[in-house]
Structure 1
């Protein structure tokens, strides 16, 4: 992570200001979030996100949303160095603990009199909680020190930390420094209430309610930062801020989205708002995660802004209309073909009229208010309830305005001049983007292809073929075209029309001319490419044609059949005289000796495929792959963010890749300019389901054989491509073999497990190919009690007792002793047979096979039976009548002949 962060910090400024495009945004929402507002966002060491909302605390790992038990409205979150989560909310404050099953649950640590705690802060071992009336300081020993607000301070409105000291905003007397004995007047020369204080290394930025930014050094010297778009920020109203790196500061606003500012130069780097993909301009909360991405809470959920991602959006610049179909970029600019024509991205200063209000101070009069502070009563003379401290800076300004402008309506209050008056300002400001799309004149229908020939831009589509010069187009062929190909070797233009013709165009001295009409091939040609000089390949519906090109003439060589039952377009590439074709059926190599296609059995039929710089870029069940001249993926891992594309093009020489997604967004990936990978978060077990019980306790897992069904839910927090993460597992003790990689293997279910010891191993693989391993989990499935070792020991003790008893009775009660001995032998044989039977690794329900196994076991035990019988009767005279009576062969007849007293 440190290496990745260092690379990012070095490359980011150059990358950012050298290129255009909007930051990559990822949107997250859940039905459980409907109607809830978010006030704070935090991330723990495992990568799990926590959101403080008016419904409680939501937990999010990239896939799953969970509402922690015991939730009421929560306004602030803090995570200590030891991982403890502290919360502040409508019911007081407390921490997040675990219940009896190991799941997170809110614990209230304040008494019932403490309510509406709207802010918290951690400094070393102390946790600070704040509401309007008091500051609660909880130390490491859970001792509470309380500082109450009084008439001198007025209500508390906010906490912040600077260089190891905690300060509090007050409604009446400005800033105070907090210590154990109480409040000390602050020496900070900051005018207005502090909204946020953000730290990076040993540098602080402070934002105030007047929308001003200040830097602060270790000597507590304050210096205002001059921001070039200060008027826009004034109109938008700052509600929070976070560092991204030393050169980038993110400011969340109430009305203008998120403004990214370079605090060194004061320049606006980017504005993420509705015009650039943010669902709503009203920002509820803003936070930075461990990978330096900005999380934005708004009415429609959460958006993750990724400034470091080498993937930029080009869809939100003004002027682009229609369904996006293709794109092309060169030194002449960027063009986009849509269903409504052709558009070019041009740099232009676009201004919009911005209306905002400014409070201008006026001369104040000293008046009598009947002993009540300004703002305590409304126009009807009733006391207004205090709103919780969130956005108290807005409330304060509003209260002053209402009281001072309407004081004459309050009984017993002398009329006075207002302290401030609001003045309406109108100003033209630069929009968030300095680029716009302008329509190319002369093209008013669908454009499906944009190519170049001799540095000339050629666009084709339903209206024909056009040569494009900046924002003007000249028609070369006025009929619908399926595909257009520029032969760099022959300097000619070939087009396949909707009439199944291939037309041959060459640039003359004054104009383009149609040299010949190629009528020999009557097929729907969807793709063309050159294999080597003068060799052209045309891909039709179910045939591929080889064509010889010479002196602006084409001569068909031969046609090759290709399997294409799905009817999708066949494309091909060539490198080093090798030819590779692909369609929905699969990949095919061309054998130049046999002049036939040979299917590549090692590659399945792709779900999608595109030609990319002499390579086939395709998607299989595991993600996007590359086949052709260069089989290395490189930064193409990022394509796994998307499941489906309408169009992909690019060039490794230009180090770029352009994509149009199915949701009609245009993206550019900047190749190897910047590291794309984020260090993966650890993989862990979220829950275990067994015997109708769900738990998060992963130690001492013991199951019984009759309730051996068990299911594991595995989690690896990821917010780049969470649904593209694949898992595989191996259960040692059952099958010592890894499962296939699958994104559904995050839930592992075993309906039945035989008795034994097991070790579960799990691995995950993210879109960048990084593999993470779960710590092996050991558990046991216990057999029924009659198959357990302690029961076998008990049986053995009973048998041993019978043997001892039979020997003790041998002298006086010989018949009883011999019967006990015989019974002991029978039980001992059954005991041995049971142990052997339960130890067999193979079980079969077929009664015939089971009978054969039992016979085999009986034959193995027969010698043991004879040995035990001889051992038990060794002391007896083999010629005695009693031995014969107790013989196993004649026991029944001998007992009938026995006479009493013998």
Structure 2
């Protein structure tokens, strides 16, 4: 990782170029890792299980077409918006003004938000007496000239506040907008003279049939989109594969994903990022494709989805995918900088204790055994039926410390060596690469590697406890870590064992190595060994920072000459340090969502520009060579202001030059706020400040509301901002208001009081 900066991570998970030169074979791959997934159940959003469509407005708020109405989600609160008919909603779209239009059973219209922040449905069907004639609006579509609502029998056109209708001569089955043109697909199982049939384009008030060069009929169309880099349009069917529309003629495309499409029934296709697409299916989850159309990953129940029946998919600004399913709503962070492997479905079991690479094969030592990643799957090494604690690479061989002793692994064949006792850790001499050190209970074995075999040449014994870590100094001497808080030095030349003195008792003294430096991390800071005084002294991990010896870190992982990573004292909160322009910088940004992940080991695979992180919570993989936008895409929103005195709503107006006038009876307020960020992992934090009342800005908190009671009469400015899952601060929202003086304290009221008192005095 040379010249490392704060880099952003966009991985092309859904690359899919529609052309006529796809490979015919498919390849399902686990090498990418699983995206973090967040499932929303019907109980959580308080709606029906079935969802049919998804859009996101210009403020970042999500909307879902649900069987019970429209669902609105701002990242904190779910609201259910029923239509006038109270029936299911099937389709949503956003017009050029940013208005969300809605199509459902026996009804269609749009959403409108009032100044109090409440969203409601406005029907456009008031002029239609028999609502059943509307039918089921399966598609709401926005073109620059008008909004369109399509049902099986009719096309409703809303333009300039006027509604017109066109009757179909045949049943319409689906409709799509591509390049500001409306395409409608009609039933092909029945054909009447002059009736609408197959795929048509609607233009200038007329439907025109598009010819097909296929010998077989196209029975349905589930999605249409423009192929990047060309004027051609892809036409996707549920079971017949994908076709190409070129110069008003349809031809077949032979793509590798067609077999999966035919087996699992395509329901939708979405464009993710540059040259990237993903496919939703009826019973096979959500499919990710590579640049030649091969499937490299399927998101299904094994990946963490709560339902595999996908009705619609939506890609947001972070290139994460939202899925509307028959049983809830899901979001998958397919474009995040980090992916993970769970123990449940990948074949990798247990706590990850060490990671090593030999001849392009990744090996993972766990407390359940030894695993390797090859041919895009995790496989267990046969013959090792015990916990594996540590590994050392030796040419083409791998030495593995296990509960039963030390194993040699060549390729994937394991052989138990003649060291057959519980071994916690291994390390090799830097001066003599044929010397291996092995830590056991109460002793250390010094072993010679001879032609792939182990010969014990010396034993360091009389140690009090388990030797769980060994570090080799430049002169060949070794340091031994024995929890809790004991460290020994062994001189190879004199065979002398010395316990290193400590002035204080330590819960932990953990050995780390930084270049040629060996240091100890503890709950009391960082220390190094002073050979002359035979004691530990404070160690500055950053020589230019005189206080850096006070850091509480547990593990130090070298990435390159100019970068490294550390975990905190609890083996969490991964932090990256890197050198830039002779200055040491650090960032936690890419890793904040997994700050609670317990980390035991890290392996930097520089050849592939990735590093692997393992621990009791599983295995993570991060790519540091590409680009990801960590910034908050939307501003923090003040969603609602409530008068706590009578539980009524107050208008939310965020205009710099307007100050809201509130009566004194409205001097107790609750501010509800939210950031439209919806991380599958990680958390959103908020801070706020009421100018005119608070002395200082609040600390960051997960709370999404703030109460103020009995505010004095004066001018105020409420400010709130949020921090997304990557710690990036979003633009703040501001609400200016003034609590008016109560009537009984106004100057004229006081004047009346004085006059009355004087008058009363004269009468008396």
Decide: shared fold, TM above 0.5: yes
Alpha-carbon distance change, 62 to 330 in structure 1, aligned in 2, over 3 angstroms: farther
Indicate the residue corresponding to 1:874 in structure 2. none
Within 5 A, what are the aligned runs for 1:486-885? 486-491=428-433, 492-497=435-440, 499-509=441-451, 511-530=453-472, 532-534=474-476, 536-551=478-493, 553=495, 555-556=497-498, 558-560=500-502, 563-564=505-506, 570-575=509-514, 581-583=520-522, 585=523, 587-590=525-528, 592=530, 595-596=535-536, 609-613=554-558, 615-618=565-568, 624-626=574-576, 632-634=585-587, 637-641=590-594, 643-645=596-598, 647-651=600-604, 653=606, 655-660=609-614, 664=618, 666-675=619-628, 677=630, 680-691=633-644, 692-693=646-647, 695=649, 697-699=651-653, 701-702=660-661, 708-720=667-679, 723-742=682-701, 744-789=702-747, 791-792=749-750, 798=755
Query: Following superposition of structure 1 onto structure 2, how do residues 348-427 of structure 1 map, counting pairs within 5 Å?
Result: none
1:214 to 240, 243, 249: 243
Once the two structures are superposed, the pairs formed by residues 339-350 of structure 1 within 5 Å of their partners are 339-347=367-375
1:772 partner SS: coil
Of 126, 129, 134, 2:146 maps to 126
Q: Which is richer in helix?
A: 1
Post-superposition offset of 1:794: 5.7
Contact 1:687–1:695, Cα closer than 8 Å, also in 2:
yes
Greater gyration radius: 1
1:744-775 superposed Cα distances (whole Å, 9 cap, x missing partner): 14333334533332222223223434222313
Give the conservation status (yes or no) of the 8 Å contact 1:538–1:545: yes
Distance 1:306 1:507 in 2: 46
Q: Describe the superposition over 1:706-763 as per-residue Cα deviations: whole angstroms up to 9, x where unpaired.
A: 7633332221122346642322223222235333233x14333334533332222223
CA distance in 1: counterparts of 2:649 and 2:29, whole angstroms: 51
> Which secondary structure does the structure 2 equivalent of 1:303 belong to?
strand
Q: Distance in 2 between matches of 1:668 and 1:203?
A: 37
Q: Deviations over 1:433-470 (max 9, x none)?
A: xx233321320112233343556422223222222212
CA 1:164–1:650: 2 relative to 1, 3 Å? same
| Alpha-carbon distance in structure 2 between the residues aligned to 1:327 and 1:82 | 55
Measured in 1, the distance between the counterparts of 2:155 and 2:135 equals 12
The CA distance in 1 between the partners of 2:707 and 2:538, in whole Å, is: 41
Which secondary structure does the structure 1 equivalent of 2:223 belong to? Answer: strand
Q: Give the TM-score, by structure 2 length.
A: 0.80
TM-superposed deviation, 1:590: 4.3
* Structure 1 residues 463 and 254: alpha-carbon distance in aligned structure 2, compared to 1, 3 A threshold: same
1:560 aligned counterpart, secondary structure: coil
- State whether residues 546 and 556 of structure 1, in contact with CA within 8 Å, keep that contact through their aligned partners in structure 2: yes
**Residues 277, 196 of structure 1: alpha-carbon distance in 2 compared, 3 angstrom cutoff:** same
Q: Does 1:159 align with 2:149?
A: no
Ranges in structure 1 where 5+ consecutive residues have no aligned partner: 348-434, 806-815, 824-902
Partner Cα distance (2:749, 2:345) in 1: 80
Alpha-carbon shift at residue 521 of structure 1 (Å) = 2.7
Structure 1 pair 252–710 and aligned structure 2 pair: CA distance change class (3 A):
same
**Alpha-carbon spacing, 1:543–1:124, altered in 2? closer, same or farther (3 Å):** same
Describe the superposition over 1:493-525 as per-residue Cα deviations: whole angstroms up to 9, x where unpaired: 33333x333333332356212222222431344
CA contact (8 A) 1:483 1:525 kept: yes
Q: Does 1:66 align with 2:79?
A: yes
Q: Which position in structure 2 is the counterpart of 1:32?
A: 44
Cα distance in structure 2, aligned partners of 1:741 and 1:622? 20
**1:302 maps onto 2:329 in alignment:** yes
Give the conservation status (yes or no) of the 8 Å contact 1:317–1:437. no
Q: 1:637 to 1:292 in 2, by over 3 A?
A: closer
- Secondary structure of 1:226's counterpart equals coil
The 3-state SS of whatever aligns with 2:272 is strand
Give the conservation status (yes or no) of the 8 Å contact 2:76–2:704.
Answer: no
The partner residue of 2:161 within 119, 133, 142 is: 142
1:576-629 deviations in Å (ceiling 9; x for gaps): 77665445x4533448498446699999997x9544226532288995435799
Change (3 A) 1:673 1:177: closer
The alignment of Structure 1 onto Structure 2 pairs a total of residues equal to 701
Q: Distance in 2 between matches of 1:439 and 1:591?
A: 40
1:291 aligns with 2:323: no
Is the alpha carbon distance of 1:166 and 1:284 closer, same or farther for their aligned partners in structure 2, counting shifts above 3 Å? Answer: closer
Report the CA distance shift for 1:9/1:571 in structure 2 as closer, same or farther (over 3 A): closer
Q: Is the 8 A contact 1:225 1:266 kept in 2?
A: no
Please name the residue that 1:438 is paired with.
Answer: 379
C-alpha separation in 2, matches of 1:508 and 1:184: 81
Query: 2:185 aligned to 156, 165, 169, which one?
Result: 169
**Is the alpha carbon distance of 1:545 and 1:442 closer, same or farther for their aligned partners in structure 2, counting shifts above 3 Å?**
same
Three-state SS of the structure 1 residue aligned to 2:733 is coil
Of structures 1 and 2, the one with the larger relative CO (CA 8 A, separation 6+) is 2
Aligned residue among 60, 67, 71 for 1:54: 67
The root-mean-square deviation of aligned C-alpha atoms, in Å, is 4.1
Question: What's the CA shift string for 1:231-288, capped at 9, x where partnerless?
Answer: 22211111111122453221211122223345x7443343333454444432232222
More moved, 758-767 vs 466-475: 758-767
Aligned to 2:270: 242
SS at match of 2:501: strand
Confirm or deny: 8 A CA contact 2:213 2:251 kept in the other structure.
Answer: no
